[in-house]
A and B are shown apart, each in its own frame.
Chain A
Amino acid sequence: MDKDSEGSTIDTTLNFEAADSVTSRRSDDVRPMMGNEAMARGAWEAGVQVGAAYPGTPSTEIMEFLSAYPEADVRAQWATNEKVALDVAIGASFAGARALSVMKHVGLNVASDSLMSQTYIGVNGGLVLIVCDDPGIHSSQNEQDTRLYARLAMVPCLEPSDAQEALEFTRLAFTISEEFDTPVLVRSTTRLSHTRSLVEVGERSDIEPTGFKENPHKNVMIPSNARTQHPRLIEREEKLKTYFENSELTKWEKGDKDVGIVTLSTSYVYVKEVLPDASILKLGSSWPLPSNIISEFSRSVKRLIVVEELEPIVEREILSMGIKAEGKAFFPRVGEFSPEVIRDGLETAGILQKQKNKLNIDITPTVRPPVLCAGCPHTSSYMAVKSLDARVAGDIGCYTLAAVEPLQAIDTCVAMGSSIAVATGMAKAGTETKPIIATIGDSTFLHSGIPPLIDAVYNDVNITVILLDNHTTAMTGGQDHAATGRSLRGDETHRVDFEQIVNACGVDWVRIADSYDLANMYQTFREAVEFKGVSVVISDRPCVLDPVKIRGETLVVNQSNCVACQACMNLGCPSLVWSDEMYDGHHKVKIDAETCIGCALCAQLCCTDSISALPKSK
């Protein structure tokens, strides 16, 4: 069986539609879909015409799936960052088309500025934002709850609980957007985005775009117009409240009257799993809340419990209505929910009996964190950075993995694009005796690294910026960006030239170095650090996984020559492991032939010249 990529790439294999031999009792329009695929489908069925996103786990596949629909239906694109993605969607909405913007939770921080004004303006064509949260922090820098943004922007926030709802809610979001003249948030979570379940699909509704509607009072946010729009938001909120009171999105499931559960999103399916007989009020939107039905529900049960992942938003809102409710007393405010978490909470609440049925075997799990790939060009860049004994402001991407053993080459990591300005701040503080370096990936640089670079030049600081150009957005599964020369659909397009951009920002010292040439990297970095002012080194080597898997000749360690100094292992290449042979109490090293890609970086580090290419067999 061929190994699937298991990254955030599009998966076409599980296309159940193709199989006609299916002996399913379900209709032909039912197929297994990942939550992300279902949301793309929902948008397509709603007649979306423009889609823009910046990748980010777990949201990435949504735009990839959307781009698989015909271009005549929908223009789907990668944007340079989330704010650009939202602005593109806003523009399309102005032009009267239905538009979608997709991002991960932290992406909304970047895009929030536009959202906060657009909510005053409203929409022309339906405008929907899908935002994916990451409870449990599977691959993010924080665990923020997007629903707080919905409150701040006073926009509805639909929260589907499974893939079927993901499709339906996304489709409906466009209607709500146009009917109530508001942007609409659809909030997913990692679990929903990455779970496959059976989904009944529908057809695309052909919506004729209306074209631009001239209306400066509504479309131009200057103070006088904003002042008249703000009260409109409050009216809109009331109307939405009424809508959710009567909408099919709000579901009352009658059951046991002792406990009533108010829940939404994936928490709902966990509750159904653990407490199938309870009375449940399932909300479709966490904002604004249908207060009448909630209070009616609360009167019908003896005890009201709110089950929601992350922040107690619904719980506090219910409490503020003067209704007695419990929730976060039993369920954590951090981490991902699961049936176990819900069960534990209900046990603490005295609703379920304690249950113990686990195998009693005590095992210390083997530590297996994600690591940089064998042959990753970032490994050698950071080897060279380490030789400088510098203070290193890191950024977000695969290269953040250089923060852990054995490289341990990054001192800080804040948010996308922060590194350069953080380095500037360190330099301005004047407390640092070591050279100050910022390391930033190519996609991150385009996302939000250019303004801070201009700032560094403008304010004349002495820092070195290392632009790790691996020709892709690797961490999220290898998406194209403005400097790869390819669009989301794989078509050839304009390509940004990093050296020119850096020069144009006013940087006087720029070099390009191949990160597979370690000696040259050491030398170039040294010169860069010695330069007084802003110096930039662009390390230039493609990622070994994306867009194409790179494999060269496998290397071997000559066991009789290896002195077990393990200098090569400082790279952290996962193909380098201990061999069974020892030298003077230390393990010699061997190379795993299955995973080595033959980058020869380890050979460059070997003090005894023990690493060389595998002799060719005839």
Chain B
Amino acid sequence: MNKQEKPNSITNVLIVGVGGQGVIMVSKVLARLCQRHGFDVKQSEVHGMAKRGGVVFSHVRFGEKIWSPTVSEGNADVLLALEWAEALRWLHYLKPKTGTFIADTQHIVPPFACLKRHRGAEQRYAQETPEEIVSQVAKGYALDATGIATELGNFRVSNTVLLGTLSTALAFDEADWRDTLAELVPPKTIDTNLEAFQKGRDWVEEVKKTPKKEKNTKKPNKIAPYQQQVKIQNDIQQDLIPVITAAWCKGCDICVKMCPERCLKLNTKEVVELVEPERCTGCRICEWLCPDFAIDVVKVPTPLNEEASKSKPASLPETV
């Protein structure tokens, strides 16, 4: 690719992932390569929060003359995602008719996905499968790059595997890609990186050989079991609730301190009380830890709805 072949045209690449995955390294290699070929190039990222596991994205634009440092929505020629949920977050940046979509199918589940504590709680992570997405974009590659990198003995080179895949989408010489990569990675890791790069290219070759239907090889890991489990759990028509025998409580405070949800408190008579019933998840820790057997976590047959949970203490007057 050089400017004579593509006069005045601009290529937009959006590289996305999660902090620590090496998004910026990929974009540096690409930017460097573009510069070597005499293109004007802008590479823009916003860091700051990236180290704390947040979203990382890097825009790389190259061509004869580049003005805006950022790619507009619906204008990315290539979307390269190092993580599955991130691929989906930025999907609307892809050019609808011609854009190439490349994504690692691995899931990095954010802590926020596992926050809900009630029984049968759902994990809040993207539900869309690679098959669904790949079938809807112009050109789509979803591969288990992390798996491939792990097989090579270093899961960290998954970004280089994807770089290999990217190299098939942009018309620079393979040798130039390799040279630039070798130039930018630490000398000790050059061999592993070149190997990973090759794997990413090989993967595309494989896909091109196999009949259309089985284009994308791997399912996203783990999503199915969660969904099944959630289904079963949602059928539970019972709730758990600690019932406190006030006479047996000597106010030792153990359950109050150990309750993961902090829904127990000592009242003015130094007897434990369930003060935030809606937070109780029925985990039974208080029951197990009470030295005086003053707490019983019992199953209350009740539909899982708001009102029922709010009226819980009132419905158990004789024991509290």
Contacts and interface: CB of A to CB of B under 8 A. Distances in A.
A607 B24 CA distance: 41
B185 A2 contact: yes
Given A338-B72, A359-B136, A580-B222, A565 B189 contact: no
A458 interface: no
A512 interface: no
Interface in A151-186: 162
A343 B44 CA distance: 20
A32 B21 contact: no
B53 A370 contact: yes
Contacts of B156: 1-3
A284 interface: no
A564 B118 CA distance: 11
A196 B99 CA distance: 24
Nearest to B94: A359
Contacts of B183: 19
A398 to B, nearest CB: 7
Interface string B159-187: 11001000000000000000101011110
Contact of B51 (A13, A276, A369, A477): A477
B79 to A, nearest CB: 10
Contacts of A371: 52-54, 110-112
Contact of B88 (A269, A363, A386): A363
Interface string A378-390: 0000000011000
B25 A339 contact: no
Nearest to B158: A1
B96 A24 contact: no
Interface in B257-309: 257-258, 260, 262, 281-285, 288-289
Contact of B44 (A21, A23, A191, A372): A191
B35 A198 contact: yes
A574 interface: yes
Contacts of A569: 111, 114, 260
B19 A6 contact: yes
Contacts of B225: 580
B24 A190 contact: no
Contact of B89 (A3, A162, A366): A366
Nearest to A196: B43
Interface in B37-96: 37-38, 40-56, 66-70, 72-75, 85-86, 88-89, 91-92, 94-96
B74 A358 contact: yes
B250 interface: no
A565 to B, nearest CB: 4
Interface string B208-237: 000000000000001001100100010010
A21 B113 contact: no
A368 interface: yes
Interface of B: 18-26, 28, 31-32, 35-38, 40-56, 66-70, 72-75, 85-86, 88-89, 91-92, 94-96, 99, 109-115, 117, 119-121, 123-126, 128, 133, 136-137, 155-157, 159-160, 163, 179, 181, 183-186, 189, 193, 196, 222, 225-226, 229, 233, 236, 240, 257-258, 260, 262, 281-285, 288-289
Given A357-B95, A365-B126, A578-B226, 8 more contacts: A4-B22, A195-B44, A357-B75, A359-B74, A361-B136, A366-B124, A563-B288, A578-B109
22 contacts: A4-B24, A6-B47, A7-B51, A22-B36, A23-B37, A32-B31, A138-B46, A194-B46, A196-B43, A198-B41, A270-B68, A338-B72, A340-B72, A359-B94, A363-B126, A364-B126, A567-B283, A567-B285, A577-B109, A580-B222, A582-B233, A607-B288
